[in-house]
Structure 1
Amino acid sequence: MLIAVCSLKGSPGVTTLATALGARWPGQENPIVVEVDPAGGDLMARFRLPDTPGLVSLAAAARGRGHADPNLIAQHTQLLPGGLRVVLGPVGAEQTRAALAVLASGPSSPLRRAADQPDTTVIADCGRVDPDSPAFPIIRSADAMLLVARPHDDELAHIALKLQAAQQWSRRPCFVLIGDGYSTAEVSQALQIPVMGRVPRDARGAAVLCGHGTGRRRPDKSMLGRAAAKIALNIYSHGHARTASHGTHAPHLRLAVPGEPISGASLQPLGPQTRNGATP
């Protein structure tokens, strides 16, 4: 299964969520998180890891052998504390875009080929995305797309303008809110979007996932980790239901409900922002 995690504006915590999903993935499977953010990766610096193996070495191998080997990605991973497998993106945007020119080209990317293997999940950290992003082909081929946003006026207005187009990017688009702001119900009502999940602000939990945690605090003990676990279980369950039905009658993870066109004006009825950090 291939999951694309991205935002339409700003930096609401896409990398942290992608890492949290991988760390809290259900079952016995050990997913692979791949940094394909065109702006450059964060995990190398966060965890003070070497620059190879990673996305650049993966692209070089794909160029040399082609995209056919489904085990290619696993050969270019490093381990985070706790054992999560990651393919590190280079810090520089220029290097990342050059690697994506190889990895996202052609009818099937190495990420897609790896994700098509039994009991294999690839979580792609795509950063901020639009149709011009070099990571866009990876998003289009994903089994699920998580759109991440903070529930604030500026981000929601931006999303409202791009939402209809974004729904065409994925077969299974999902919406995840990060932190305090408008309540989940207000966002869902104003934008006509069922929100799949909400991740609370949890600086200590995020610090663990960013390599800055102290003591013995684990991701599964944090508010961030518990919220990520619920989202991961939802995606995992739908993915296995789709596989069991051979993709014909499995339930779909839907983003927006049919109705009136969504525009920036949809945000007007919300009124003053609340800071209650309400959860679903």
Structure 2
Amino acid sequence: MSTLALALAAAWPADGARPVVVEADAAGGDLAVRFGLSDMAGLLTLAAGARQDGAEAGLDGCTQEVPGGLRVVVAPTGMDQAAPCVAEIAAHPAVLRGESDSEGTVLLDLGHLGAAASRELAQAADQLVLVTRGSKDALAHVAARPEWLAAAEPELVVVGECRYAEADVAKALEMEAGQSHLVPWDARAGAALGGAGRLSERRWRRSPLARAAARLARHLAGVETGSRGGGLAEELAQVATGALHGPALDPAGEGGAR
């Protein structure tokens, strides 16, 4: 889910301030380890600010950048620290709005919605996106979603191989046709966003994951599909070709993650 959140942030249509990915997973985060960031300057600091009505630090003061310029708020790796942070932010969701001069899009990566605080944040969101695999058993879990989740009318993103069409998935899960989205998995692109390698800009532009993320980002932002996205060509390519942890590309652009 964090990989998809990063891809969406990179592909998000330009609307002023750059989007922020907030890793609010009560089970603990991955991004700090993935990109070699400090987990002491992210969700921990944001939660401390929420307790003090913003006296400690607002959203802007808790962000760090990953290669390519994407802004992230990383969660502590351990659940013992992450869960109380998520609960504190759920009790004070206004802390996620940022400063008045930099309001923009916040992409919350909530992980699994098992914790009560995670459900509270999900219900407070302007838009809710469920992410699942395309297997029959994974889709069955979505079909058995609780009443509050069904009432929220979430968008559904099916990542990876799926034998069913988007319209068929939506109909079977009692969703509107436009609420179901298939996002093909791309191991090369996923490895680059996962900090395990990098690809040439040309390969990124051809990546099924990158293209699907661009379409989904425009849909969620309410931007016409045919309009210029603005973020994907530059920012996502920079993430892919930037100085991530992994082998460098050779001059022909064929090295790194494949």
Q: Structure 2-normalised TM-score?
A: 0.76
1:127 corresponding residue in structure 2 = 111
- Specify which structure has the higher proportion of helix: 2
- 1:61 matches 2:49: yes
- 1:58 offset after TM fit, Å? 1.5
2:81 aligned with 1:95? yes
Does 2:179 align with 1:192?
no
Query: Of the candidates 114, 119, 129, which is equivalent to residue 136 of structure 1?
Result: 119
For each residue in 1:99-136, what CA deviation from the matched residue of structure 2 results, as whole angstroms up to 9, or x when unmatched? 12221114x4311x339877511000000114x43222
Unaligned runs of 5+ in 2: 224-258
What runs of 5+ residues in structure 1 fail to find an aligned partner? Answer: 1-13, 239-280
Identity percentage of aligned residues: 39
- When residues 20 and 149 of structure 1 are mapped into structure 2, their CA distance, relative to the original with a 3 A threshold, is same
Shift of 1:18: 0.9
> Would the alpha carbon gap of residues 52 and 15 (structure 1) be closer, same or farther in structure 2, given more than 3 Å must change?
same
| Partner residue in 2 for 1:237 | 222
Q: Provide the residue aligned with 2:30 in structure 1.
A: 42
Q: Distance in 1 between matches of 2:212 and 2:72?
A: 21
Q: Please report how far the alpha carbon of residue 57 of structure 1 lies from its aligned counterpart in structure 2 after TM superposition.
A: 1.5
Separation in 2, partners of 1:163, 1:148: 15
Aligned 8 A contact 2:186 2:209 in 1: yes
Counterpart CA distance in 1 for 2:90 and 2:37 is 24
User: What is the CA distance between 1:164 and its match in structure 2?
Assistant: 4.0
Root-mean-square deviation over aligned CA pairs: 2.5
Letter in 1 for 2:149: A
Structure 1 ranges of 4+ moved more than 6 A: 115-118
- Residue of 132, 137, 157 corresponding to 1:176: 157
| 1:167 equivalent among 150, 157, 172 | 150
Count of residues paired in the alignment: 219
Q: Secondary structure at the match of 2:198?
A: coil
Query: Does the Cα contact within 8 Å between 2:20 and 2:105 map onto a contact in 1?
Result: yes
- Equivalent residue number for residue 256 of structure 2: none
Residue 188 of structure 1 deviates from its aligned partner by 2.3
**1:192 shift after superposition:** 2.7
Counterparts of 1:200 and 1:117, CA distance in 2: 36
Counterpart code for 1:179:
G
